[in-house]
Amino acid sequence: MVNNINDLLKIFKEDFLKNHQNREYGLEEAKNNFVKYISANKPHFVSHKSIVIWKNEGHGVVEFHTIHGGNTQDLIIGINNFLKSISKEFNHAVTYYDNPVINQLAKHSIFPAHVKKVDRGIDNTYAMIFDLRGK
């Protein structure tokens, strides 16, 4: 189990190098912001080489984002474990992203999920919404 900042930073770096190249910010700036987030004890969940950061949006909705340093199966397990962990507290979870390949992950969710195109800029092309009360 990943439980120290060095392990978290390893996952963070792997994700950044795979998914955040050619951004207006570099690895060091992103890493510093991540360390501040973790150090402030902001909500995060760790499972299977995935770190999920999240915030309560109110009305039973949580928005989450994954930082991932493993393979696709690790990502599926990590997200499902996160969703299971919050399912008693929230009705819905949503994540935003750009890569259309991620749309296929909806079919691997343990909760009903659907994807819609939202086109709201960088990192916000698609929304995947999970019904945490559905079966």
Is residue 127 within 8 A of residue 95, CB to CB? The reply is: yes
- What is the pairing mode between strands 61-68 and 92-97? parallel
Global confidence as pTM: 0.91
How many structural domains is the chain composed of? 1
For residue 28, the enclosing domain spans: 5-131
Q: How many residues does the chain have?
A: 135
126 strand-pairing partners: 97, 117
Identify the weakest region by mean pLDDT among 49-53, 65-69, 121-125: 121-125
Alpha carbon of residue 68 to chain centroid: 8
Please report how many Cα atoms fall inside a 13 Å half-sphere around the Cα of residue 62, on the Cβ side.
22
DSSP state of 91: S
Question: Rounded CA gap, 84 and 13, in Å?
Answer: 26
Q: What is the CATH number of the domain that holds 105?
A: 3.40.630.30
101-119: per-residue pLDDT in tens? Answer: 999 999 999 999 999 999 9
